[in-house]
Structure 1
Amino acid sequence: MELLVAQSYSKNLGLYTERFGAINVVCSSADAAARVKSQLKRIARPMYSSPPVHGARIVANVVGDPALFNEWKVEMEMMAGRIKNVRQKLFDCLSAKDKSGKDWSFILKQIGMFSFTGLNKTRSDNMTNKWHVYMTKDGRISLAGLSLAKCEYLC
């Protein structure tokens, strides 16, 4: 089996402008690995010649120091828990207010800092223009930027 796994660590460590991450490739042969490596070099070279190292150094300091690493894990668990609570509150509010019988459980099944609402461009524009609720044109909203107190307004 051959596969590519792309991982971003930018958000996890607050290094948004660093685009810090990794790509891991599993190839079925040494020949395939050599070909993939040459293509990855072709892709990476024009994007940057010498990427900055300070993001990697910050990560190395955090994960290399047990006290800092534990502090980071506690903060990540706190943020993940807060977003999970926002998801639950949003689900509860929508389920209670929506008389159409729509199944809003997809909000609970999604993970991460964002949620797709299912709203199209027209409805997203309406949310922005009429209610000052900002989201992408495909209805994606930031749950990290949504407080429990504002869930009711959003619903």
Structure 2
Amino acid sequence: MGLYGERVGALSIVCKSSDVAVRVESLLKLVIRPMYSNPPIHGASIVATILKNSEMYHEWTIELKAMADRIISMRKQLFDALLQRGTPGDWSHIIKQIGMFTFTGLNSDQVTFMAKEFHIYMTADGRISMAGLSSRTIPHLADAIHAAVTGIN
């Protein structure tokens, strides 16, 4: 399940001085206050529990590394699959990017084509979740990207 649905996040800002930090914090509070009245606390309490317990923290770092390695593997598999199909374009950005998501470089027409013809869904700007892929689904995605790139400008 994880924390994905809990909307846990962090923002770090480095300031030149404590005076600047106080002003930045004040401005951030003014900006964020209208967005929510009371921020969710459940996810934050889960994170605090894990970070404060050395055994849980150690287990979390192992799981985090495993997930990061899996996402890197999905990137490499997708990149290789596109090369194997001879998909036009430079796809190296897929393996150069980091994180859970990849900007494929597909345009909105290509994204729409993939949804209609292959039932593959992503944001209109071509962003796709690498964490949602598996070795089993990569060939289908690569086929769809290849068809979209070769058939839709």
Same fold (TM > 0.5):
yes
1:138 to 109, 115, 125: 125
Aligned residues, how many? 142
1:21-73 CA distance string (max 9 Å, x none): 33333334555444323322211222233333322221111011111111111
- The amino acid across from 1:132 in the alignment is H
1:10-30 CA distance string (max 9 Å, x none): xxx932344323333333455
Question: Matched residue of 1:115: which SS?
Answer: strand
- The amino acid across from 2:12 in the alignment is N
1:22 correspondence with 2:17: no
Higher strand share: 1
Match of 1:64 in 2: 52
Question: 1:25, 1:140 → 2: CA distance?
Answer: 26
Match of 2:62 in 1: 74
The CA RMSD measured in Å over matched residues stands at: 2.0
Q: How does 1:45-56 map to 2 (within 5 A)?
A: 45-56=33-44
Name the CA shift for 1:17/1:150 in 2 (closer, same or farther; >3 Å): closer
Name the CA shift for 1:34/1:63 in 2 (closer, same or farther; >3 Å): closer
Question: 1:22, 1:99 → 2: CA distance?
Answer: 38
Q: C-alpha displacement at 1:116, in angstroms?
A: 1.1
Match of 1:111 in 2: 98
Higher helix share: 2
Q: C-alpha displacement at 1:143, in angstroms?
A: 1.1
- The amino acid across from 2:139 in the alignment is E
1:38 to 26, 51, 64: 26
Structure of higher RCO (CA pairs closer than 8 Å, 6+ residues apart):
2
Q: What TM-score comes out, normalization by structure 2 length?
A: 0.81
Name the CA shift for 1:154/1:24 in 2 (closer, same or farther; >3 Å): closer
